[in-house]
Amino acid sequence: MGYVEELKEFVEVIARLRAPDGCQWDKEQTHQSLRPNMLEEAYEAVDAMDDNDMKHLQEELGDVLLQVVLHSQIASEEGAFTIEDVTRGIKNKIIHRHPHVFGNTKVTSTKDILDNWDKLKAEEKKHRKSAMDGISKAQSALMSAQKISKKAVKQGFEWPDEESLYECIMSEFKEFKEAKAINDKEQMEEEFGDILFAIVNLARWNKIDAEQALLKANKKFIKRFRKMEELANKPLSEYSINEYDNLWRTAKKELSY
């Protein structure tokens, strides 16, 4: 059976689940109730990519597809749009944004392709009044900061060099310490946000995905902490600072082998 037939049958399965005599749980779902599922499945697919686990990735992509088809089925029942509208819309968008493949536009580099993509996207989104329009309100703050930074740079808002960016980061730390000195919690929170935003710009400057970098740091910490738990000869809560430091160093050394 080809992928067209498989996809058609899958759409029919989801419609059956939502039918009057279908699954009670599926019938009760709404776009809002399924919102956490969409996020969870997307993150699990990314985890599989990071682990380079193709079997797991196949499964997780199926779960992502389930969310797409289920939301489309709900929208179809409400008269908003259908799965055909979804696939037609993305197909037309991709064709329109790749005139160097589906048209006669000539490009000589990846930069040309990306510049052209941005130009075509701007033409499609003429209703947007600000360069900051279109930033997702649901994505993580770190991802939003990266997108905001990139959008600002495209408008020419950029540090003259990396050293000036380091100076900016240091000045934000200084302002945080000043707010802390007078115990101004609201100002401390504001300055801490400025520190994070400036560091995200440092990541962008060096072509590092800040979200992925932090995810990797989280995973690394968890891995080392679990190793510490394995090596410990008493509850970690009973360790002194020096014992903790030595245990951390040992765990780090063993994991590097």
Same domain? For 194 and 218 the reply is no
What is the predicted pLDDT for the residue at 131?
Answer: 73
* Segments of the chain scoring below 70 in pLDDT: 257
Same domain, 191 and 237: no
Q: What is the 3-state secondary structure (H, E, C) of the chain?
A: CCHHHHHHHHHHHHHHHHCCCCCHHHHHCCCCCCHHHHHHHHHHHHHHHHCCCHHHHHHHHHHHHHHHHHHHHHHHHCCCCCHHHHHHHHHHHHHHCCHHHHCCCCCCCHHHHHHHHHHHHHHHCCCCCCCCCCCCCCCCHHHHHHHHHHHHHHCCCCCCCHHHHHHHHHHHHHHHHHHHHCCCHHHHHHHHHHHHHHHHHHHHHCCCCHHHHHHHHHHHHHHHHHHHHHHCCCCHHHCCHHHHHHHHHHHHHHHCC
Q: Give me the percent of the chain exceeding a pLDDT of 90.
A: 70
Residue 191 placed within a domain: yes
In a domain, 76, yes or no: yes
Query: Is 193 found in the same domain as 169?
Result: yes
Domain interval for residue 166: 141-208
| The pLDDT value given to residue 257 | 61
* Residue 134 maps to a domain: no
Q: Do 204 and 217 share a domain, yes or no? A: no
Shared domain check, 92 and 9 = yes
Q: For the chain, how many structural domains are there in total?
A: 3
**Do 190 and 224 share a domain, yes or no?**
no
- Give the pLDDT of residue 215: 87
156 — phi, psi (to 5°)? 95, 5
Whole-number pLDDT of residue 55: 96
Shared domain for 188 and 241, answered yes or no, is no
- Expressed in angstroms, the distance from the first to the final Cα of the chain is 47
Does 92 lie in the same domain as 14?
yes
pLDDT reported for residue 154: 82
Q: Are residue 62 and residue 147 in the same domain, yes or no?
A: no
- Cα 106 to Cα 110, 124, 217: the distances in Å are 12, 20, 41
Together in a domain, 32 and 60: yes
Specify whether 86 is located in the same domain as 9: yes
